[in-house]
Structure 1
Amino acid sequence: MNKLIAAPGRLARRMLPFRRRPKTHADLPFFAVPAEAIDVLPDPVTFRRELLRLIAQARRRIVIVALYLQDDDSGREVLEALHEAKRRVPDLQVSVFVDWHRAQRGLIGKQKSEGNAGMYREAAARFGTGVEVYGVPVQSRELFGVLHLKGFVIDDAVLYSGASLNDVYLARHGRYRLDRYHLLQHAGLAEAMARFVQRHFLGSDAVQRLDVAGVPPTRLLQPAIREFRQQLQRAGYEVPPATLAAGEVAVTPLLGFGRADNALNATLLDLLRGARERVVLLTPYFNLPRPVRVLLGQLLRRGCRIDIMVGDKTANDFYIPPGQPFKAIGLLPYLYENNLRRFARAHRRQLDSGQLNLHLWRDGDNSYHLKGLFIDDDVAVLTGNNLNPRAWSLDLENGLVLRDPAHLLQAKHAAEWAALRRHATRLSDDRALESPRRYPAEVRRLLRRVNRVRLDRLVNRLL
């Protein structure tokens, strides 16, 4: 019924010669957050310690939203800390939201298992059901979209990062996956992010508990998932009117879901369009959506300086080192490197002049998961959005836009950018990348097959 009601509007939008122009970022509502209430955490070890500290001190609510809470040492540490917080403060609201599909399968390439959901049920059996763990099915299949919302709300604090919760993201056992980590202390922002989850997740029949027995199969949830997706298309954060006073930064939470009327996508494009002098773009997978690539080209022609940091293919979380059994998923880092090679070749003149700088991050066998934007000296975007076609149209994303006209955060942003560059090298030109002729034989064979049928375009859209 909802589809029938919405059909005339969708048809009209397709037939119109143009779309209604979205609001510009100057029109965005915001929370006025004191600059001193926004902190940049330096590394994953500090992020883990801060998360556990906030959980231990929680008095009213803990709302964790992540792609996954892994069944490993770090995941169990966090889950047990949540149960201990609930035991210590019985009235504490503790809710965890993870992707429905990701939680109920094993790791890619590993034997079949009940996934992380088994850990949730085992913990509930040991500690009780006070910590509620929910699965959020953004799409009917994981391939077509996942829960990629970010932000942990603990009382009046928002701990924001693109990281999920497992050993590598939390730097256990000698390896880490680098992300960005920010702590914002503001009651209104925390309330808006918690209220969104309560209203749109807990209010949907598609969102089900994973820490209890008798979890329904996905096929029985299909009608509820379709209705949930339609609801998300219309959803957003509630931000009351505010004015910016001296010493404050404007912080706007934005939701992104679907190709049309996507507030996060539209705002990111508007922010890029308004860049005056400089853009810094961070992405773990060099597979930019076409609108972003077009805008970057326009900015370069306009004289803007652009810095892009991406992980070296060996720092990609899908990279399979030589000597280990190769699986098809290991082709992805090579596809992303080929994308980067084409981009560098197309903009060789700007690379030579220093107007365009491509930074490759690598630190031993650690991996890279950064995402976000710095624009001029007064705008920053914190987000889990990978800035790729999948994030642009399939996954449920969010972000925080920080507008800082008084440059109160400039020193913090500069320090963060300098720290990120510590393990990065500037790409001189496309020839500095490894030649495809030197790729492993299995990679070369798969690349020939993929390129022959133009399958790389489909792969880039879905992964």
Structure 2
Amino acid sequence: MDISSEMPGIPIDSSNIEILETPTLFYAKLLELVSKTERRLALSSLYLGEGELEKKLVSTIQERLNQKDIEVTVLLDYLRGTRRSSDGESSVTVLKPISDRAKVFLYHTPELNGIVKRILPQRADEIVGLQHMKLYIFDDNVLISGANLSDSYFTDRTDRWYLFKNCKPLADFFHEIVHTVGDSSFIVHEDQVVPSPKCDVHPYLGGSQSYRNLLKQRVENVINKYRESRENDKTVSKTWIYPILQMGLLGIHQEYNLLNKIFATKEKDLKMTMASGYFNFITDYEDLILNEGTYQLDILTASPSANGFFESKGFSKYIPPLYSKISKQFLSKQRSSNRMDVRMHQYFKEGWTFHAKGLWTEHNNKMMTLVGSSNYGYRSVHRDLEAQVMVVTSDQKLMDRLRNEKDRLFECSSLLDVVALQQPEHHIPPIVRVISRLVRSFL
């Protein structure tokens, strides 16, 4: 199978890859890494919640700033980061205790501008595009995940969390990406949200194409610098890691190009597994999987009650049945293509939501996994800023750990087939049948 990446790999000892198993361990690890940071700390997330756990994280960063002269950077999405809760708090207000000593950046998609920006209400405006990278950097350690910095992600939301320890090339690359996006965004300055001094084109007033060209050039400069730094590495290693970016809005399609290769694979003895809390394949992926590939594929997604939007208010309450509709359409295509070795599964765990995303392949005594922020849907491909790490290994102990991680996710799953989709929880209201085609590209 061709799993070559557009980005050069980084050799790493398997013992320096830690796979966390629960959201509480994720939270504890964040606090631990903050308390040990010596030089630099960068947090890139969709948003920061307003609860006590989030405030404890900020106070821990504040304590470390009082102890050490460290560089602190926070990159969030503008729309989510400035959205106020019912008690008037937002990500920005929660970060106020450290905002005078940290750089707090807020990315704003250039696609939300003009009359659309003026008329779309909060929450609805987020469908246009977001900063979605989940990167947590502590000196030369990188914790990459699909999890945001919010209480549910610290307590009862199933996700994935990989810590790459003592890996300076990976930390340097992602640290530069965070700063590059941040310098091209808004910054919190003296309780005001203003364009960063280095943002030469206003994110939504300066013209969408001009802004995209600016940010694309800056991100590509970081990519080219990374490639040059890795081109002469002749290390022999059983395990390699590869940073992967997907910023379709900017014309950067590393993940898309990689997945096109993987999904077109013709290897009957290849085992592939994919997880996404929000399953919504683009047509390109569906066609490759159902009409080109010849491998076993198991897809794990959230059951309606494990969807993060289950029982939410307003239009959001229709999101779980929208995903049921998408799953139903995919299974219909699967039957038409006679790909009986492609199966869907749904995750359910009482009181929990499912947010895990990723890909695993196993072939010829080698395993690969993708971990990061992407859900592999329309949004991830075309609208949002995404970051992942691909791990490729022939180390048997690490392969066992990858299998164990995957198996833990499936312990709370059941087959999602035609019969399951007829159950009441998968009821698709008439309005969903009408609007599904219109809104699918925003999911």
Q: Give the structure-1-normalised TM-score.
A: 0.81
- State the alpha-carbon separation in 2 of the partners of residues 150 and 406 from structure 1: 27
Post-superposition shift, 1:179? Answer: 0.7
Question: Using a 3 Å threshold, how does the CA distance of structure 1 residues 202 and 423 change in structure 2: closer, same or farther?
Answer: closer
Post-superposition shift, 1:431? Answer: 1.9
Q: What amino acid maps onto 2:302 in structure 1?
A: G
Residue matched to 1:373: 359
2:405 to 412, 416, 420: 416
Q: What CA RMSD, in Å, does the superposition of the two structures yield over aligned residues?
A: 2.8
2:38 to 59, 71, 84: 59
1:73 to 37, 41, 52: 52
Give structure 1 stretches of 5+ with no counterpart. 1-22
Residue matched to 2:164: 184
Alignment of 1:17-416 (within 5 A): 25=4, 28-89=7-68, 91-106=69-84, 111=86, 113=88, 115-121=90-96, 123-124=97-98, 129-141=100-112, 142-171=126-155, 176-185=156-165, 186-198=167-179, 200-204=180-184, 207-210=185-188, 212-216=190-194, 221-223=203-205, 226=208, 227-234=210-217, 235-236=219-220, 237=223, 238-239=226-227, 240-241=230-231, 243=233, 245-258=235-248, 260-274=251-265, 276=267, 277-298=270-291, 302=294, 304-320=295-311, 326-348=313-335, 355-376=341-362, 377-405=366-394, 409-416=398-405
| 8 Å Cα contact 2:369/2:392 also seen in 1 | yes
| 8 Å Cα contact 2:157/2:355 also seen in 1 | yes
Question: Using a 3 Å threshold, how does the CA distance of structure 1 residues 437 and 188 change in structure 2: closer, same or farther?
Answer: closer
- State the alpha-carbon separation in 1 of the partners of residues 30 and 49 from structure 2: 15
**Off by >6 Å, runs of 4+ in structure 1:** 217-220, 349-352
**Higher CA-based Rg:** 1
- State the alpha-carbon separation in 1 of the partners of residues 145 and 278 from structure 2: 17
| 8 Å Cα contact 1:283/1:387 also seen in 2 | yes
Residue matched to 2:123: none
| Larger displacement relative to structure 2 (215-224 or 394-403) | 215-224
| 8 Å Cα contact 1:134/1:211 also seen in 2 | no
- State the alpha-carbon separation in 2 of the partners of residues 97 and 26 from structure 1: 26
Secondary structure of the residue aligned to 1:160 is strand
Q: Which has the higher strand share?
A: 2
Q: Can you list the C-alpha shifts for 1:124-151, whole angstroms capped at 9, x where unaligned?
A: 4xxx722332211133533311001121
Question: Using a 3 Å threshold, how does the CA distance of structure 1 residues 396 and 352 change in structure 2: closer, same or farther?
Answer: closer
> What fraction of aligned residue pairs are identical, expressed as a percent?
21
Q: Give the structure-2-normalised TM-score.
A: 0.85
Post-superposition shift, 1:445? Answer: 4.5
Residue matched to 1:433: 421
Question: Using a 3 Å threshold, how does the CA distance of structure 1 residues 261 and 100 change in structure 2: closer, same or farther?
Answer: closer
Question: Using a 3 Å threshold, how does the CA distance of structure 1 residues 280 and 316 change in structure 2: closer, same or farther?
Answer: same
Question: Using a 3 Å threshold, how does the CA distance of structure 1 residues 131 and 83 change in structure 2: closer, same or farther?
Answer: farther
| 8 Å Cα contact 1:247/1:408 also seen in 2 | no
- State the alpha-carbon separation in 2 of the partners of residues 265 and 133 from structure 1: 30
